[in-house]
Amino acid sequence: MSKAIESKLLTEYYDDPHYMSFEGYTKRKGYEVLKKAFKMKPEEIVAEVKASGLRGRGGAGFPTGVKWGFLPKNDKKRFLLCNADEGEPGTFKDRMMMEKAPHQLIEGMIISAYAVNAHKSYIYIRGEYTDCLRIVKEAIDEAYAKGLLGKNILGSGFDHDMDVYSGAGAYICGEETGMISSLEGLKGQPKLKPPFPAIQGYLKFPTIVNNVETLAAVIPIIEKGADFYKSLGTEKSTGTKLFSVSGDVVQPGNYEVELGTPLMDLIELCGGLKPGRSLKAVIPGGSSAPVLTADECVDATMDYENLSAKGSMLGSGAVIVIDDSHSMVDLLTVIMHFYHHESCGQCTPCREGTGWLEKLVKGILKGSGRVEDLDLILRVANNMKGRTICALSDAAALPALSFVEKFRLEFEQHIRTQSPVRERETTSHA
């Protein structure tokens, strides 16, 4: 097994503490790519991004160039929104990117805005990230002062305004239409699709919503060309990706590696498991991604295709490593509590189902569960999946399904030891 190395495309200069300032950023070739982009036609940039195979880094993995192509082909007002409402448990890459390189994000956004011909953009940052809010706001002011935002940027004739907007604590605002609702000053409840945001989004204007990392990744694509970007990663999952590794590893943190890197190598890169522990499971893409058992981890590679073939997903790239010291029942309770707490309450299956799942799992944890409850969890989760406006009910259902299916023995064991009386009752019925 070859040891993975970090391929720092976005995070190359993150060690430089001055990189976050305008001077530090321009010293490291900052805003050079923007000048190059302005010499290209917007359509060429879209074509380049499309050709690079860049996929959304926020969670869904939708090809960015294709998304941009959905915009109506006219000159009507449109918006670019940057989704920095990073709420997926286990994810902390956007926070680092904004804190360490706000100008990188701004540059990426100007290029993208130029490509989709949007004259106004918002960066929606989750409210808890007060530092990010301050840093990005200052960086935007700086950019305005240097003529990188506002009217006629760098003499290109392109006008662009940028603003930050603070969320206020709702996981669901990380969903693109939920974020649009929140930005419109409503509750952050996702909107019905169709119409899709690219047709009718923010205030019914065509809107493109992209993740921080996606927008930043546009820079190397324009700088080095789509072919170079494609040369990284696998055939269908191109480029590099930041993985937020947390949990039971020696050095948790953000690691930028090529897509397609074996999962075990990534864990190795983080210093491996804590001494004396063995791997039990890995959640490869944030808490909403189905869990992988230790056996499945062996040949898992971190790209969209391999993980979806394993029934999981790459998601936001939050790798939560779980060793044998943790109870899966306990962890599922934490996850179910999270989704119950964060369900926006709009669609019935999610509103009621998340609460129900939490009650069931909590019951098992507390010792009032029964073996039948495991089947009930599966049935409830299966009937929440794909039945709602947004993917939150899927996000709640998938971990429940995967935990119970893959660690059923452990769950049954837990029920037996915690509630032996009930267990006898149920078996006697059978």
How many CB atoms neighbour CB 274 within 10 A? 13
Q: Provide, rounded to whole angstroms, the least separation between the CB of residue 156 and other proteins.
A: 24
Nearer residue to other proteins within complex by CB, 37 or 282: 282
Among the listed ranges 25-33, 55-63, 107-115, 239-247, the one in contact with other proteins (CB under 8 A) is: 239-247
The reply to whether 271 sits near other proteins by the rule CB under 8 A is no
The reply to whether 275 sits near other proteins by the rule CB under 8 A is no
Among the listed ranges 139-147, 229-237, 258-266, 343-351, the one in contact with other proteins (CB under 8 A) is: 343-351
Residue 97: both structure tokens together = 């990117």
CA distances (Å), 321 to each of 230, 250, 274, 278, in order?
29, 10, 11, 11
Contact residue for other proteins among 293, 355, 405, 410 (CB under 8 A):
355
The reply to whether 316 sits near other proteins by the rule CB under 8 A is no
Contact residue for other proteins among 213, 256, 303, 342 (CB under 8 A):
342
For the residues of 61-121, what is the DSSP string, one character each?
A: --BHHHHHHTS-SS----EEEEEE---STT--HHHHHHHH-HHHHHHHHHHHHHHHT-SEE
Among the listed ranges 26-34, 102-110, 223-231, 341-349, the one in contact with other proteins (CB under 8 A) is: 341-349
Q: How far apart are the first and last CA of the chain?
A: 49
CA distance 48 to 114: 13
Give the DSSP H/E element, type plus range, for residue 318: strand 318-323
Q: Provide, rounded to whole angstroms, the least separation between the CB of residue 11 and other proteins.
A: 14
Residue 267: both structure tokens together = 């864990």
Contact residue for other proteins among 7, 21, 91, 312 (CB under 8 A):
91
Omega before residue 220 within 30° of 0, cis: no
Footprint (CB under 8 A) of other proteins, residues 5-64: none
In one letter, which amino acid is 357?
L
The reply to whether 284 sits near other proteins by the rule CB under 8 A is no
Helix axes 102-116, 93-100, angle to 10 degrees: 100
Contact 90, 319 (CB under 8 A): yes
The reply to whether 366 sits near other proteins by the rule CB under 8 A is no
Compose the 139-168 pattern: x for residues touching other proteins by CB under 8 A, - for all others: ------------------------x-xxxx
Identify the residue whose tokens are 């507390």.
366
Residue 311, Ramachandran bin (φ over 0: left; ψ between -120 and 50: alpha; else beta) = left
Q: Is the CA virtual torsion 38, 42, 48, 54 positive or negative?
A: positive
Among the listed ranges 29-37, 148-156, 257-265, 319-327, the one in contact with other proteins (CB under 8 A) is: 319-327
Nearer residue to other proteins within complex by CB, 38 or 122: 122
Contact residue for other proteins among 25, 114, 171, 229 (CB under 8 A):
171
Q: Provide, rounded to whole angstroms, the least separation between the CB of residue 186 and other proteins.
A: 6
The three-state secondary structure class of 242 is strand
Footprint (CB under 8 A) of other proteins, residues 109-138: 120, 126-131
How many residues bind to other proteins according to rule CB under 8 A? 80
Q: Provide, rounded to whole angstroms, the least separation between the CB of residue 67 and other proteins.
A: 19
Footprint (CB under 8 A) of other proteins, residues 374-393: 376, 379, 383, 386-389
Nearer residue to other proteins within complex by CB, 49 or 100: 100
Q: Provide, rounded to whole angstroms, the least separation between the CB of residue 354 and other proteins.
A: 7
The three-state secondary structure class of 301 is strand
Residue 352 per-residue DSSP state: H
Footprint (CB under 8 A) of other proteins, residues 245-264: 245-248, 252-254
Footprint (CB under 8 A) of other proteins, residues 173-232: 182-188, 192, 194, 202-203
Q: Provide, rounded to whole angstroms, the least separation between the CB of residue 97 and other proteins.
A: 11
* DSSP bridge partners of 240: 258
Cβ neighbors of 310 (< 8 A, separation 6 or more) are 292, 296, 300
Q: Please list the alpha-helical segments (H only) found in 232-344.
A: 263-269, 294-298, 304-309, 328-342
Q: Provide, rounded to whole angstroms, the least separation between the CB of residue 400 and other proteins.
A: 14
Nearer residue to other proteins within complex by CB, 35 or 379: 379
Residue 117: both structure tokens together = 């011909």
